[in-house]
Amino acid sequence: MSELGASALGLAFVVALVGVVAGVIGGVRREASWAEVARRAVLLHFVLATVAIGSLFWAFATLDFQISYVASHAARSMATHYRLAALWGGQSGSLLLWLWMLAAYAAAAVVVNRRNQSLIPWVSAMLMLNAVFFGVMLNFVSDPFETVPAGQVLSDGSGLNPLLQHPVMMIHPIVLYTGLVGFAVPFAFAFAAMATGELGTAWMRITRRWTLWAWFFLSVGILLGGRWAYEVLGWGGYWAWDPVENASFMPWLAATAYLHSVMVQEKRDMLKVWNLVLIGLTYSLCLFGTMLTRSGLVRSVHAFAQTEIFGILFLSYVAGIVALFFGVLIWRSPELRAKHQLESVLSREAGFVVNNWLFMAFLGVVFWGTLFPKVSEWITGTELLIGPAWFNGLASFVALPLLLLTGIGPLIAWRRASGANLRRQFVWPTVCGLTVGLATGIGTGLSGGVFPVLVWAVSGFVVGTISQEYVRAVRARMRHGENPVQAVATLMRKNQRRYGGYVVHLGVVFIFIGIAGAAFNEERLENIRVGDSIEMNGYRLEYRTARAIPAQHYGGAIARLALFKNGEPLVTMTPERRVYWLEQQPASIPAVYSTLLEDLYVILTAIEPDGSATVKIYRNPLVNWIWIGGYTFVLGTLLILWPHPPPRSRSEESEA
């Protein structure tokens, strides 16, 4: 299979080159024959990329240790599903996954939009230009089908990092890549619009669902990564501002700003240049983040170190793509002047502008904090690390106003809001926010500081806004004879972006509620003997016993601790401490007792020679609201993406 996969990769590279040349000629000359060559090149490239990745999957399934990449990331001890997931567990395989997803997106884009004769040649050229680069990396720098010399083939492989052998990590990279790679489509259409001079909203309408699709999967990928970190890494948290986490979060911030900003252009024909900047920035950050995690610049459990030439080539490619896109944007900028200007600071479009400024400030904080250790090393020779406290402190100043704008935006009219309108719109949300803030302030006694109370107060304000918008709209529909369920269905059908967006905002509120709960986290490190117990906030953990783990491929111990709440028995918690023999890697498997209000999170640090256990205990209030918010977020996005039949015209209704 190595010969088949390598041949398919080589041919895919050649076909991608043909696609670039044909697309450029077809776009410049506006000749349908060359455009058709480019389109067929895109489709053939997808077939070849599928053959290549299918060959590598087969090699993992059959444990073909003649292939160096398989020998480095698979082992006979691994279950079949983890063997297959090991394909994207390393450098070469993850790049091949990126190439295949890019090929799939490109093929889908040219098939769905095949009637658009003016944009598709340039779209094909840009997508295939990206494919050419990944083809260079896979064929000449990081070959996934490189074979081991005949005399050096081993009977077993090294296996996948044990921390990555988790159900979430089987799907997390695929979901994340579906988001990151997906932004190549709106990026390519934006470039095509500038190349052809078709600078209206057509390219935005074409790519609206493509952009939402990519943003949705990127969002879910980030949430899955947080869940994996919480369950597997054994440190009691879900987000550590790790460079690899930031690499996916930065394009998410730019894409979210774009999804808000694009509504201003659609409604008021403003921010044309800015929207092109945002979509260019989003995909550039997708590529930059991929380079960051594969160039050896950062160290992480899910980063890949590589040779110096790899980093140089990747950074040069990112710089070239950025220069090409923004160079064309500068060339076209005189034709992108807005027809309308901001009429009032008390308008919805002004709110969107402030929203975008805040997202860019947030992006600047994350970008600088991620690169600062390397910048400091280049300048001073010493790597100065920035901890989570630095990120949390600056991010909170930006995130709270962003949350507030989530509630303010829907209350303000387009163009110019009147004083009477503002008073009428803000009464109920303000009452909700003040009530929640007062109640939580009294309930907590400000023991966690002012910030969480402010977050919950603003969350109450946003929930008040969302409920007010739904109640008013449903009542209006009910006056036309619909019941509440029919009214909501009609709202979703006629304006799913608006009312589905409110559900997304509700999910964001729940996530903020959970994040604010971290101000009340408790942490204890204790050594206890059999029969002893630990008290924490009404909980009692009693150490019963410990036993060795009889697994074949790792050793360690598992402790049994009985959990009581106010004297009542709840569960037996069984945290584990493992050491994987082959990888010589320790791992802690936490035991977690979850309720809607809090988690009790127990880590076994060690079983001491005298039989006592050293355990670390975390009490994480409201952490489950983050996952509830994630589910709500997913539901809201699906409501936006759900296809509805186009509304019938009046003539059609009269004929029915």
* pLDDT tens for each residue of 354-382: 999 999 999 999 999 998 888 888 888 88
The helix/strand/coil state of 335 is helix
340: confidence class by pLDDT, cuts 50, 70, 90: confident
Please check the confidence at residue 267 and state whether its pLDDT lies above 90: no
In this structure, the answer to whether residues 68 and 105 fall within a common structural domain is: yes
What's the total number of domains in the chain? 3
- Is 509 domain-assigned? yes
- Residue-number span of the structural domain to which 102 is assigned: 1-160
Q: Does 570 share its domain with 639?
A: no
Residue 296 pLDDT > 80: no
Here the tokens at position 345 are: 């600071």
Residues 1 and 140 in one domain: yes
Q: Does 613 lie in the same domain as 635?
A: no
User: 């387009």: which residue's tokens?
Assistant: 414
Residue from 521, 591, 511, 517 nearest 223 by CA: 511
- Domain assignment present for 221: no
Please indicate whether residue 308 or residue 323 has the higher confidence score (pLDDT): 323
Q: Tell me, what DSSP letter sits at residue 297?
A: S
Q: Note whether 504 and 546 are same-domain residues.
A: no
On whether residue 181 sits in a domain, the answer given is no
Domain-ending residue, one of 160, 182, 198? 160
467 in any annotated domain: yes
Element (H or E) spanning 32, and its range? helix 32-61
535 and 512 assigned to the same domain = no
Last residue of a domain, one of 128, 160, 192: 160
Question: Is residue 507 in some structural domain?
Answer: yes
Same domain, 487 and 631: yes
Note whether residue 439 is domain-resident: yes
Q: Are residues 454 and 587 in the same domain?
A: no
Percent of the chain clearing pLDDT 90 (strictly above): 65
Q: How many other CB atoms sit within 10 Å of the CB of residue 286?
A: 29
Task: Give residue 61's pLDDT.
Answer: 93
Task: Tell me, yes or no, whether 40 lies in a domain.
Answer: yes
Per the domain annotation, does 330 fall within a domain? no
- Give the confidence band of 162 by pLDDT, cuts at 50, 70, 90: confident
| Encoded tokens for 584 | 């010589």
Alpha-carbon distance 455 to 518, whole Å? 12
From 7-16, 130-139, 642-651, the region with the lowest mean pLDDT: 642-651
* Domain stops at, among 160, 190, 205: 160
DSSP state, 345?
Answer: S
Burial of 488 (0-12, 13-18, 19+ CB in 10 A): middle
Q: Identify the pLDDT of residue 277.
A: 97
Whether residue 530 sits in one domain with residue 507: no
Q: Cβ contacts of residue 561 below 8 Å, gap of 6+?
A: 541, 542, 543, 544, 572, 573, 574, 575, 591, 602, 615
Q: Assess whether 534 and 437 both reside in one domain.
A: no
Position 493 scores a pLDDT of 86
24 and 151 in a single domain? The answer is yes
Examine the domain organization and report whether 529 and 544 are in the same domain: yes
The pTM (predicted TM-score) of the whole model is 0.93
